[in-house]
Each structure stands twice: as structure tokens, then as C-alpha cells.
């Protein structure tokens, strides 16, 4: 997997296997809804299901801080982490991650992490494919390796939406296979109520007189 323009950074690994399993369990416990597209509609453009992680959970909050650090963004820029699951035949067609947003709310950066086993050799589909990159008429495909992630900037240094980052979640093709992934989107403006942002270190406790 390689692209220097735009830069796609492979994070391998980003998450421990135990962390992937934890995220999946938390996502299952948060209820799975039909996914919406970036325009906020449910249709056959995106047929997976989605859940949002409980960001007040200490492990999840710790992960959000790690993701922000890796991306070089403040923790308060991280949106609620979104987990997405694809059963056989489900997909997310080509899209960019920041359609029609107000400038203050730009999704500057994306980290998409793969959470499941069994799809790494590509024989059961499920790749994250960058439709405008790649060669020989083939998209640049990132196959799902549990714990690995890919990171990119959705905007050019000049501040324009970088349409070269268009990507798709290819359909899972094998019966019984499920692909789990996690989106971390980081905004240009702090999310004021983000409870998972780093708390200020506590002031040292006054020592009691012996």
C-alpha cells in the first residue's frame, strides 16, 4: 500500500488485538443502526451498520487520545468514534469524508482502522479501496489486517477538499464473514464538549502535616 500524493499513512499496527475485540464488544453493546452516508441518508450507497462508542469509557477515551496523538491533532478534535460492520454483500460506495461541511467543522483528518480477522488475503473482499489512486485501472486497496489502520488528510495544504482521497468500503463476499472497522474523524475546530479530551493534570495534593 503506497501513496505519497496524497499521503496515505499505514499504521501497522495501531491497535492491539485485545483492543480491537474490546471495541467490537462495546460497539455491539451500543446498538447497531443502518449506516448513514455523509449526507445523512440511509440508502444503498452505504449498506453497513454503524454504532458509536461510549466515549466516557476509560479505554475508549484512552484510544481517542492515542488516535489524536498519532494524527498530530488535539484530542478535542476527535469526533465520537464510529464503528462500522459489514455482513456479506454490504458495502460503502466511493465517497470522500467531508461532504458539504461548514468550514469550521472540516474533517481534516481520517484514521480508518480494521478490527477483524480473516479478510487479510483479499479473497473475501472487504478492502478499503482508494478509487482515484492505484495503477493499471485498479484502485489502491488496503486489505483488512486486524489492528492496522490507514490515515490521510481530507484537505490539501491550500484548504481544498482533496478529492483524490475518495475511497470505498468494498463488499464482503464470503458467507459468514463480517468486516469490522472504526472511523476516527478529526475536526478543524475543537468539539467543546468532547469528554474524552485530555483533562488537565490535577494539581498536586496538599500534603497533610504528619
Ligand X SMILES: O=C(O)CCC(=O)C(=O)O
What residues make contact with ligand X under the rule CB under 6 A?
84, 92, 97, 112, 128, 167, 169, 181, 183
Q: How far is the CB of 35 from ligand X (least distance, A)?
A: 7
Judged by CB, which is closer to ligand X: 65, or 131? 131
Q: Annotate 159-176 with b (16+ C-beta within 10 A) or e (fewer).
A: eebbebbbbbbbbbeeee
Asked if 125 contacts 174 with a C-beta cutoff of 8 angstroms, the reply is yes
Residue with cell 495503477: 135
| The three cell numbers locating residue 56 | 466516557
Q: Nearest residue to ligand X, using CB?
A: 169
Judged by CB, which is closer to ligand X: 28, or 210? 28
Q: What is the DSSP string of 2-54?
A: --BTTB-EEESSSS-HHHHHHHHHHHHHT--EEPP-TTS--STTB-SEEEE--
Dihedral of alpha carbons 168, 172, 177, 178, sign: positive
Judged by CB, which is closer to ligand X: 77, or 84? 84
Judged by CB, which is closer to ligand X: 84, or 188? 84
Q: How far is the CB of 176 from ligand X (least distance, A)?
A: 18
Amino acid at each position: 500500500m503506497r501513496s505519497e500524493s496524497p499521503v496515505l499513512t499505514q499504521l501497522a499496527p495501531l491497535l492491539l488485538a485485545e483492543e480491537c475485540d474490546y471495541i467490537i464488544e462495546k460497539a455491539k453493546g451500543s446498538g447497531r443502526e443502518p449506516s448513514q452516508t455523509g449526507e445523512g441518508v440511509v440508502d444503498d450507497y452505504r449498506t453497513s451498520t454503524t454504532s458509536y462508542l461510549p466515549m466516557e469509557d476509560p479505554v475508549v477515551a484512552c484510544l481517542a487520545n492515542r488516535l489524536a496523538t498519532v494524527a498530530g491533532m488535539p484530542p478535542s478534535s476527535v469526533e465520537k468514534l464510529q464503528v462500522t460492520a459489514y455482513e456479506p454483500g454490504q458495502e460503502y460506495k466511493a465517497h470522500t469524508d467531508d461532504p458539504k461541511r461548514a468550514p469550521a467543522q472540516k474533517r481534516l483528518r481520517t484514521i480508518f482502522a480494521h478490527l477483524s480477522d480473516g479478510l487479510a488475503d483479499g479473497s473475501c473482499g472487504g478492502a478499503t479501496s482508494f478509487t482515484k489512486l492505484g495503477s493499471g485501472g485498479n484502485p489502491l486497496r488496503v486489505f483488512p489486517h486486524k489492528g492496522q489502520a490507514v490515515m490521510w488528510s481530507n484537505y490539501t495544504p491550500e484548504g481544498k477538499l482533496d478529492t483524490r482521497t475518495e475511497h470505498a468500503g468494498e463488499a464482503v463476499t464470503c458467507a459468514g464473514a463480517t468486516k469490522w472497522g472504526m472511523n476516527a474523524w478529526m475536526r478543524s475546530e475543537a468539539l467543546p464538549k468532547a469528554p474524552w479530551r485530555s483533562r488537565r493534570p490535577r494539581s498536586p495534593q496538599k500534603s497533610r502535616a504528619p
